Structure 1
Amino acid sequence: MTNTAFRTPYFMINEDKLIDNLEKAKRLKEASGVKLVLALKCFSTWGVFDIIKPYLDGSTSSGPYEVKLGHETFGGETHAYSVGYSEDDVREVADICDKMIFNSQSQLHAYHHLIEGKASVGLRLNPGVSFAGQDLADPARQFSRLGVQMDHLDLPLFDSIDGVMFHMNCENKDVDAFIALLDTISQRFGAYLDQLEWVSLGGGVFFTWPGYDIDKLAAALKDFSEKHQVQLYLEPGEAIITQTTDLVVTVVDIVDNGKKTAIVDSATEAHRLDTLIYNEPASLLEASENGEYEYIIGSCSCLAGDQFCVARFDEPLKIGQRLHILDSAGYTMVKLNWFNGLRMPSVYCQRSHGEVDKINEFDYSDFKRTLSRWSTH
């Protein structure tokens, strides 16, 4: 079955590209001793976890359903974290997680007794330094609610926890910048870290980016671990699935209102939300930097500013032509929604042996069921 037989829109995950990233993760683990847990907030398509699981140590979550998903479908270590737990949330996951990380001292005090003897207990700390391209995603932004800041830290609580988590990076492709953050943490918190069993350094470290110096990162992680005698964790998401997945769409119309706009059967608002949220234009496989023909690639939603990018092509686009929107896995499938009642993209995986597996597909009944299940009449 060829790809042209699949109805658009759809995601196509490439197993070979995924394994390329995972081999880099394996190299980092072996050289540094760090453990890696997949950040499900970035990528939760469990139909391809069979590819990922042999390389990583488990999963980490940002909410109770992700804890359950990680426990049921990924295995290994299951880390539970949330910015705000309810008591019901804690009771629901206490028996299925290996580590529970609280975001605040008040939540730690309120719920510690519910997990004592069941899971290793951790607390998120906010080091006050970070690497992030946009304020919206900066964990150390002004008035951040994420983690406990140093000047608010109740030091005796270190006697009641086993580890801490620092999440301070967002798409950090600069190994030297990460090492500088690591040194800052060691200087500010080192005396307290020496009392602990483990430290998670969170996600956002883009060690699979082309040209990234994995050996330099590994050496820094190993030194930190040995200095403070702790087991280190990283929580990669984007680093695992970057450049592995295309969102394939079809041009359904071409309009010209001062600029030519190719309207495709997908929408950033519904199917690639971070393009809209962070104002980061998508990239197209078919585009040509010096192409003669320029188009706005517009969505079929009713939101006026909903467009994927502006791109140039060597030939004019045609209605019915397919386009591949590159790097569409991270923070994409986990944010799909039914805005405008648009058709939800199916999900496929191009396996190394050449076959294509169908991972998921959706129809009208899925759309209808998310809005109401029972009538009041």
Structure 2
Amino acid sequence: MEQSQLATPYFMIDEGKLRRNLEICQQLKARSGVKLVLALKCFSTWGVFDIIKDSLDGTTSSGPFEVMLGYETFGGETHAYSVGYSEADVRAVVPMCDKLIFNSQSQLQAYRHLAQEKTQLGLRLNPGVSYASQDLANPARANSRLGVHFDQIDPSIFAGLDGAMFHMNCENKDASTFSALLTQISEQFGDYLDQLKWISLGGGVFFTYPEYDLDTLVEALKSFAERHQVQVYLEPGEAVITNTTDLVVTVVDIVENGMKTAIVDSATEAHRLDTLIYHEPASVTEADQNGDYEYVIGSCSCLAGDQFCVSRFAEPLAIGQRLHIQDSGGYTMVKLNWFNGLKMPSIYCQRQDGRIELLNQFDYQDFKRTLSQWSIS
């Protein structure tokens, strides 16, 4: 089947592009000794795990269902982390996880007896420094609830831990900045880190970004591991799937009120939520920054400010024309919702041999089932 025959909206994952990112993952592992676990909070489309899992060491989670998904569909190591566990959560994930990481010392104290001798225990630490362009995504923001600060550590509670996790980056494209953060946490937490078997340095390290200084990253990771005699982990999400996936949409109307708006059969509120949350405009493959024709690419939702971007084009857009919203893999499919009862995008993968494989599609019954399963008679 040709892409032109597929009903929009849909996500198209490109296997070839995904494998190019995975080649860099493999280089990083081989040169630095680091282990990589896929951050399922970013990307959980398990229909392409057959492509990814041979290049990574396992998965990491932010909630119990992600733990289950990683365990069932990916294999390798399964890391379980949550900002807040219930006792039922802990009991559910312990049989499946290799590492159970708590966000606070109070949770560690409350539940470690359920996990000891069954899985390795870790604690999230907050160094008070980070690299994040927006406060919303900054784990070191004021009054952060994420992890234990140095002056809060109780040595008696820390004793008996196998590892620790830091997550202090968000789309960090600068290896030197990341290296400096490692130096800071070594100086601050070094005596504690020397007691551990492993340390996860979290995600947000954008090592597949074009022209990223991989040499500096490799040396920083090797030096950190040797200094503390630990196995180091990274938790890539965006780095694995960046620039692999398009959201393909169709122009269904063109209206004008000061500017021309091309309304498409999709919505950021429902299908590309981070565009709306972080106010970062999407990019359109067909756009031409030097073009004479400017359009707002607007969604078909009822939310007044719901738009993908403002783009220029070499030719006027037409109703029925398809547009490709680039880099739509991370934090999209995991956040899909049924706002306005809009049609949910299908999910496809284009394999390297050209075959288009359907991974999932949705219909009215899926929408209906998410809202109620039974009626009151």
Shorter-chain TM-score tier: over 0.9
Partner of 1:320: 320
CA distance in 2, matches of 1:185, 1:31: 23
Q: What are the equivalent positions in structure 2 for 1:5-154 lying under 5 Å apart?
A: 5-154=5-154
The one-letter amino acid of 1:11's match is F
Partner of 1:218: 218
The one-letter amino acid of 2:268's match is T
| Alpha carbons 1:12, 1:349 under 8 Å: kept | yes
Structure 1 residues without counterparts, runs of 5 or longer: none
| Higher mean displacement: 155-164 or 216-225 | 155-164
Tell me the CA shift for residue 191 of structure 1: 1.2
Once the two structures are superposed, what CA deviation does each residue of 1:4-53 show, in whole Å capped at 9, x if it has no partner? 00000000000000000000000000000000000000000000000000
Q: Which runs of 4+ in 1 moved over 4 A?
A: none
The one-letter amino acid of 1:86's match is S
CA distance in 2, matches of 1:9, 1:222: 44
Partner of 2:340: 340
| Alpha carbons 2:109, 2:157 under 8 Å: kept | no
What is the identity percentage for the equivalent residue pairs of Structure 1 and Structure 2? 73
| Alpha carbons 1:198, 1:230 under 8 Å: kept | yes
| Alpha carbons 2:129, 2:140 under 8 Å: kept | yes
Q: Is it true that 1:284 corresponds to 2:292 in the alignment?
A: no
Once the two structures are superposed, what CA deviation does each residue of 1:99-147 show, in whole Å capped at 9, x if it has no partner? 0000000000000000011110000000000000000000000000000
The one-letter amino acid of 2:280's match is E
| Higher mean displacement: 79-88 or 210-219 | 210-219
Once the two structures are superposed, what CA deviation does each residue of 1:288-310 show, in whole Å capped at 9, x if it has no partner? 01100000000000000000000
Partner of 2:197: 197
Partner of 1:157: 157
CA distance in 1, matches of 2:2, 2:14: 14
CA distance in 1, matches of 2:278, 2:142: 19
CA distance in 1, matches of 2:101, 2:177: 26
CA distance in 1, matches of 2:19, 2:216: 22
CA distance in 1, matches of 2:103, 2:66: 16
CA distance in 2, matches of 1:285, 1:273: 19
CA distance in 1, matches of 2:195, 2:257: 65
Tell me the CA shift for residue 215 of structure 1: 1.8
Q: Is it true that 1:228 corresponds to 2:262 in the alignment?
A: no
Structure 2 residues without counterparts, runs of 5 or longer: none
Once the two structures are superposed, what CA deviation does each residue of 1:137-162 show, in whole Å capped at 9, x if it has no partner? 00000000000011111122232210
Tell me the CA shift for residue 221 of structure 1: 0.3
Partner of 1:264: 264
The one-letter amino acid of 2:3's match is N
Once the two structures are superposed, what CA deviation does each residue of 1:175-224 show, in whole Å capped at 9, x if it has no partner? 00000000001110111111100000000000000000112101110111
| Alpha carbons 1:254, 1:263 under 8 Å: kept | yes
SS in 1 for 2:95: coil
CA distance in 2, matches of 1:265, 1:204: 31
| Alpha carbons 1:158, 1:195 under 8 Å: kept | no
The one-letter amino acid of 1:249's match is V
CA distance in 1, matches of 2:51, 2:72: 16
Matched pairs, number? 377
CA distance in 2, matches of 1:155, 1:241: 39
CA distance in 1, matches of 2:151, 2:216: 32
| Alpha carbons 2:246, 2:328 under 8 Å: kept | yes
SS in 2 for 1:160: coil
SS in 2 for 1:318: coil
| Alpha carbons 1:31, 1:215 under 8 Å: kept | no
| Alpha carbons 1:131, 1:170 under 8 Å: kept | yes
The one-letter amino acid of 2:92's match is E
| Alpha carbons 2:296, 2:311 under 8 Å: kept | yes
